[in-house]
Each structure stands twice: as C-alpha cells, then as structure tokens.
Structure 1
Amino acid sequence: MSALAETERPGSGRVLLVWGLLVVAANLRPALTGVGPVLDRVQADLGLAPAAAGLVNALPLLAFAAVSPVVPRLAARWGPERLLGIALGVLALGIAVRWFPAVGPLFAGTVLIGAGIAVGNVLLPSLIKRDFPASVGLLTSAYATVMGGVAAVASGLAVPIGEVAPGGWSTALGCWIVLAVAALALWLPQCGSPRALVEVRRPRLPWGSALAWAVTAFMGLQSLGFYVAVTWLPQVFQDGGMSAAAAGWLLFLFQAVAVLTGLAVPAVLRGARDQRAVSVACSLVVLVGYLGLLAVPGWAVLWSVLLGLGGGACLVLALAFLGLRAPDSAAAGALSAMAQSVGYLLAAVGPVLFGLLRSAGSGWQAPLALMCVTAAGQTIVAVVAGRGTVPHPDGRASA
C-alpha cells in the first residue's frame, strides 16, 4: 500500500498534506520549550516548591512515555488522520486550560499538552513512511527542522511576551494556542479524505526485535542528551564564570546549530548505503563535545557548537530510523510507539540524574562524565540501529 501512496494523491493534495505535516510539526515543541524561561515566575506567583516546579518540565515526557504505546491501537481504530486531528484538539485544549494562572490548570493543561504531542510524535514518522516512502529522509529533516526552529523561537520569546503582554507568563504560555488552532484547521481536510476512512492494520509493538531495541536506545540516548543540555548547560556555563545572559546565548547557539545541521542530513543519507557510518560519526561528535566540556570548560563556545552539530544530526537520524527501519507505515507506527515510549522515559530520567549527581558531588565532573558514558553508549547502538529492517512481530514477511 505504501508504495502506491505517492501516486494516489493529486499534486495539490500532496502539497496540502506536506504543509499540514509541517504545521503539525511546528506544534510539537513550543508549548514545552516556552516553559523553562518563565518557570521562575510561575514558581514565584503560584508558590510552587522546587520539586513541583520541576514536575512541570517532567510531566510532558512522562505523558509521552505513557501515551505512545497505545497510539498504534487508536490509529487502527480511528485512522491516523482523524487521531492526529483529535490530538491537535487536545493540545489546543491543554494550552487553553494552562492559560489560567492557577496550580490545578497548570498541571492539568500540561498533561493534556503532553498527551496531544505524544500522538503527533508517533504518527508523523508513520504518515511520512506511508505517503512519501521515497522521501523519508528529506521530509523527516524538514519536520525536525521546523520543530526545532519553532522550539527555539518559543524559548526566546517567552520572557519578552511575559514582560509586555497582559497576563504575564500565563499569556506567554497560552499564546501558542493560535498555532495549534491553525494546525487543526489546516489538518481538518485530511480527516475527511478517503484514506482516513480505510481500516488500518494494528501491529503489535516489536518488543522482541534486537534492531527495534537498538533504534529505541538511540532515540532515548539522543533525547536524554538534548533534555540534559537545555536543562543544565546554562548552569554549567554560569558556574564556569559566564554571565547568565551569555550562558543563555550559548544555549541558543546550541539549538540554532542543531537546527541548521539537521538540514544537511538528507544529503548525507542519499549518498549512503546505510546510516551506520553517519550515525556513529555524529554520536562521536557529541562525545567529543562532552569530553571537551569536562576537560577544557573554558572553550564553552566550541563545545556548544559541537554538541549542536552532533545532537541536531542525531535527532534527525533517530526520527528517520523510525521509517527507514520499518517495512511499511503500520510497522513504522509500532516502532515509533516503542522507541518514543521507552526513549522519552529515559529522557525524563536524564536531567534528574544529572542534577542528583551535581548535588551529591562538589562540581560538574560526575554529571559530565555521565554524559560521556551515554554518548559512548549511543555510539555503540548506532552501529546496530543504522541498518536493517525490523521484522513484523506477527511473523509476516517484510514488504
């Protein structure tokens, strides 16, 4: 079925679908990355304890882990297009609920936001595999770039919006409902398409596949690295003698380099027989970045650039693996559900463990050594994750 997907739609329909996928991708991070810059104000205004404030950042990742495994079953029942439309509605509702400046709406809205984003995280690789099987790398890079670019903008605009808009930080968090509603409006035509009404095969998650576990480990370790970086790198830089403003700009540099690097990945993928060499090389760049930060912390700009270079490429590769390692769109959805449920659970643990190691010691050596170990582990699993096809769990021959 997927082999015919690119010819089943007229040109205008495929263009509308691509735009719909990219606008959906634009909604998968800003509601999350806009929280950190204003979290101190949220904590002060609502009287949150530090642990409760930390939960605001952890809840979406836990929602990803909880919701992702059930997405293939829900997609089989309702169709991926309609399920994604429902998820965008849930996301918009969560943003609206969180707009109210109170503790209950803050946490309830954050859970709804995490659930809506989790569905998008799982379904986008599956839809790309189904409708554009010959362009998995290109479209994955495009949506990862849009996702990362809007996320960086959200983190940069949160404080300025919170300072000038009525409602302060609540408006800074709530304004992203405009983007969610726009995505829902653009996606609604897909919900009524004939393909959305076709029954979808419900594959089991490939828990017994070693290759699926390698893809899952690669997804989880690169996600752990990203969330540790955006959570802790500014503090690492400040403790090294840098001002808070300069540390914030270095975090922006890290994210900007990561977004730009993702644009180059499709060209590399087109010229490679498999992805082992490029995924190992990019993981080694991340490892060098953390080793450098551990050994020569004064060269923070260089290490930020290296972490962005390696991390941006690894994100696109991790997302591309979900389609490249699967024989069809249904299997891609199952692999995506497995990789993102376990992967984001691992990502949620990373910043907490990094902080605990910092509290238990007298500096950043132990936490940064942990990141060196995780980057080395990512390099090892990249050798396995970079080639092959995950077999169908039901024993059917791969397409």
Structure 2
Amino acid sequence: MTPPPTAAPASPAPVAADPRPTRDPGAGRRTPPVTGGALVLVGMLLVALNLRAVVTSLGALLDEVRDGLGLSGVTAGLVTTLPTIAFAGLGALTPWLVRRVAPARVLVVAMIALAVGQVLRVATDSAWIFVLTSALALSGIAVANILLPMLVKQHFPHRTGLVTGAYTMALTVGTTVAAATAVPIAHAFGSWRAGLGIWAAMAAVAVLPWVPLALRTRAAARRATPTAVAAAPPRVRPARTRLGWAMAIYFGAQSLSGYAIMGWLAQLFRDAGYQPESAGLLLAGVTALGVPIALLMPTLAGRLRSLRPLVLGLTTASTLAYLGLALAPHGAALLWVALLAIGQGAFPMILTAIGLRARTAEGTVALSAFAQSTGYVIAALGPLMVGILYEATGGWTAPLGFLLGALAVQTTAGMAIARPRYVEDE
C-alpha cells in the first residue's frame, strides 16, 4: 500500500546535515571515491606491472645468483618458496592494515618496500641478507595482491570485469617482460645484479600516483566528523562462510598448477627432446598467450550471471593440455601450450570473482585476503609435489596425474562459487 503523502517530509531535515563525502574508504558501494578514477587506474596498472617481476627475474637468473652468492641447495629452495610464504602470511594482515590506514597510504609503503628490497638484495654478498631483503620486497607485493580487488570494488563498482582485466593484463605483461629480459640485461651489464636490480626502478615509478592520492585521503580524513568516522562497516569473516572456503580452494588449486607449470614445464619439454632455448620459448608462450586471455576473461566473467560455463571451459582446456603433455609432449607442443594458456585463465577469473562475490569494499578486501593467503599455502605444494613425483618416478605421468587431481578439486570448488551470492550474506 502506498504511504500517504504527508509521511514523506518527516525525515529530510536530519538527512541534510549528514556530510556524505566523509565516509570511510572501506564503506559500501554508494560512497563516491575520494579521488579521481583516472589516477587510481594508472596507479593500479603500475602496481600490477610489479607484482611478479621480482619473482620471474630471479627465476631466470637463479643459476647466476647461486654461483655469485654461493647459495646452498636448501637456501636456493627457500628463495624460490619465499613468494608463496610471503603472499600467504603477509597478505592475511592486509585487512587489519586497511582498517587503520587508507589503502593509498598502504600502497605507498608497499611499493617503497618493494623498491628498497630489490635494491638491497643486489647490493649484498651475504646469502642470508639476500633472503631477508627478498622477503622485504615480497612483502610489498603481498599487500598489493590483496588491495587491488578492493580498489576495483571501491572505485569502479560498475566496471569490475573491465578494470580487473586491465590490471591482470598489466600483471601478465610485467611477468613476461621480466622473465624474457632479465638474462639479456644481466649479460649487457656483465652482472646478474643488474638483471635483478633494474626492476626496482619500475617499483619506484609505481609509488608516484599513490603519493597525491594518499595526501588527498589524509586531508579527507581530517575533515571527517566523529559521526562519519563512527559509521564503519561491520567486520566480514570469510573463514566462517562456505563461499570463502570455496574461493580459497579454487584460488589455491589454480595457483598450484600455475606455479608447477612455471617451475617444471621447460624441463618437461627438454625431456621430450627440445633444446633448452626452445623449451624456454614454449614456457614463455604460455605467459605470452595469457596476455589477451587476462584482458578478456574478467570481462566475460563480469557479464555472465553464472560462472559455470567458464569454470567448465577452463577445466576442459587444462585437462586436454595435461593429457596431451603425458601422451605426446613433442608432437603437438604448440597446441598444449595454447590449451595451458587458456586453462590458466582461471587466475584472472577468480580475481574477478572476488569482486563479484562481495557487496562492499570491506567484504572484497576480507574475501581477497582470505582467498589469496589460504590459497597460496595450497599453491606452495605444487612445485614441491611435482618435483618429488618426478624424481621418484623419473617421468611425467605421475606429476601430470597429480595436476589432474588438483584440477578436479579446483573444478568442484569452482562450481560452488559459480552461482551469484555474496560473502556478506553468509
């Protein structure tokens, strides 16, 4: 029944006194961004370019670093495992940080930590200082990993797929460029230190857009009234929800396969008869083909009501790739590389789903932190288990069977997150 006309004027007076621009940065979708969207987008793309360069540049130069610093096998193993450890442990702290400090200010510190860590690790001759400074650099990446989905939700709530695709593509480009150019840069300058240290400059550039954004956020916070500051959103705890665990398992399973492929695919192709250079190019092909997929996948995910077609399609591509690598790794290598690249589209899809399955920025950062921190713990098992099975059996049937088992777990979790639902509702 329509209310009588005389009931409407009762509430306007108090509403007029509410200072809307002073809402907390973690508030819901109706809050207008404190800063311009263009500068935020540029800042996000620059951050994304840095999110894997520190990892893939080291992977390309690991032999030179081991010789230069005298790293033992155990220490080298620790260095290669550090990314997943840092992403899991430090990523979990990010929601606590953004409840106390504005995201723009957190990103300034994160990118400074990334730049400084990269500079310090190439300036030392100590193996353990190299490990510690690498951990410092990775801490900045761990925080940024969690914040980017939240920033998409906060500043671009109606363009989630497009913006997620843009920054995921930037991440993939940074990954590819760092892996492809680290060795040539090191050779050009005559030292592995140049091949690693040069990426600190890119991290320093990523700081620049966030400085004015952080200053504006600070000024907005000073203007906030006690009433506005007290209107903080409720805590969201994804660990207490089925959706949160499904997201974490899907993220972990797809990351497990991704890290296993990055670590072992080139060796598989070498064992199949390819020269080392050709095997490296085939591995690079997975990443290169992933660039357009990283752009398109979030857009598709954002437009579909249910993610089920994407989940099943990605599973099919990965299944065919694993079976092909087991049965005919040399005869149709390019086809298997293309199918692997399609299957790895699960990464941009799950990043998009983090934003799609939360109603608010607070929910997005909580879901992002839980899914990624828990997921990276699972992902750490990938290269390790593939290596153990490869060494134990002397072939690739058992490792690929393990990846098929992980894919089955991933698909089951994917079906659970496919239908529209929100973590806040659970």
Please give the alpha-carbon distance, in whole angstroms, between the structure 2 residues aligned to 1:184 and 1:208: 35
Residue of structure 1 equivalent to 2:336: 303
Residue of structure 1 equivalent to 2:118: 95
Residue of structure 1 equivalent to 2:57: 34
Letter in 1 for 2:404: C
Please give the alpha-carbon distance, in whole angstroms, between the structure 2 residues aligned to 1:96 and 1:385: 41
Deviates more, 1:355-364 or 1:194-203: 194-203
Q: Work out whether 1:124 is the aligned partner of 2:180.
A: no
Query: 1:1-399 maps to which residues of 2 (within 5 A)?
Result: 1-5=27-31, 7-8=32-33, 13-102=36-125, 103-166=127-190, 168-194=191-217, 197=221, 201=233, 203-298=235-330, 299-311=332-344, 313-392=345-424
Give ranges in structure 2 of 5+ residues lacking alignment. 1-26
Deviations 1:314-336 (A, max 9, x none): 11111111111111111110111
Please give the alpha-carbon distance, in whole angstroms, between the structure 1 residues aligned to 2:301 and 2:372: 22
Letter in 2 for 1:4: R
Please give the alpha-carbon distance, in whole angstroms, between the structure 1 residues aligned to 2:242 and 2:284: 36
Deviations 1:348-376 (A, max 9, x none): 12101110111111211111110111112
Please give the alpha-carbon distance, in whole angstroms, between the structure 1 residues aligned to 2:265 and 2:418: 29
Deviates more, 1:365-374 or 1:202-211: 202-211
Letter in 2 for 1:42: V
**Do the aligned residues in 2 keep the contact of 1:215 with 1:385 (CA within 8 Å)?**
yes
Residues 36 and 243 of structure 1: CA distance in aligned 2, closer, same or farther (over 3 Å): same
- Say which SS state the counterpart of residue 99 (structure 2) adopts: helix
**Do the aligned residues in 1 keep the contact of 2:34 with 2:217 (CA within 8 Å)?**
no
Please give the alpha-carbon distance, in whole angstroms, between the structure 1 residues aligned to 2:51 and 2:324: 31
1:4, distance to aligned residue in structure 2 (A): 3.1
- Say which SS state the counterpart of residue 133 (structure 1) adopts: coil
**Do the aligned residues in 2 keep the contact of 1:95 with 1:176 (CA within 8 Å)?**
yes
Please give the alpha-carbon distance, in whole angstroms, between the structure 2 residues aligned to 1:101 and 1:231: 26
Please give the alpha-carbon distance, in whole angstroms, between the structure 1 residues aligned to 2:410 and 2:208: 39
- Say which SS state the counterpart of residue 134 (structure 1) adopts: coil
1:268, distance to aligned residue in structure 2 (A): 2.2
Letter in 2 for 1:261: I
Please give the alpha-carbon distance, in whole angstroms, between the structure 1 residues aligned to 2:391 and 2:90: 32
Please give the alpha-carbon distance, in whole angstroms, between the structure 2 residues aligned to 1:89 and 1:101: 19
Please give the alpha-carbon distance, in whole angstroms, between the structure 2 residues aligned to 1:86 and 1:358: 41
Deviations 1:23-79 (A, max 9, x none): 111111101110111100111122212222122111121011111111101110112
- Say which SS state the counterpart of residue 363 (structure 1) adopts: coil
Please give the alpha-carbon distance, in whole angstroms, between the structure 2 residues aligned to 1:60 and 1:293: 27
Please give the alpha-carbon distance, in whole angstroms, between the structure 2 residues aligned to 1:127 and 1:333: 9
1:130, distance to aligned residue in structure 2 (A): 1.1
Please give the alpha-carbon distance, in whole angstroms, between the structure 2 residues aligned to 1:43 and 1:97: 17
Deviates more, 1:194-203 or 1:17-26: 194-203
Please give the alpha-carbon distance, in whole angstroms, between the structure 1 residues aligned to 2:30 and 2:77: 47
Please give the alpha-carbon distance, in whole angstroms, between the structure 2 residues aligned to 1:194 and 1:93: 24
Please give the alpha-carbon distance, in whole angstroms, between the structure 2 residues aligned to 1:151 and 1:211: 30
Deviations 1:243-280 (A, max 9, x none): 00000000111111112212222442354212122122
Please give the alpha-carbon distance, in whole angstroms, between the structure 1 residues aligned to 2:237 and 2:325: 38
TM-score (norm 2): 0.87
Quote the RMSD (CA, aligned, Å).
1.8
Letter in 2 for 1:285: A
- Say which SS state the counterpart of residue 208 (structure 2) adopts: helix
Mark the structure with the bigger radius of gyration: 2
Deviates more, 1:135-144 or 1:94-103: 94-103
Letter in 2 for 1:319: L
Please give the alpha-carbon distance, in whole angstroms, between the structure 2 residues aligned to 1:46 and 1:73: 37
Letter in 2 for 1:114: L
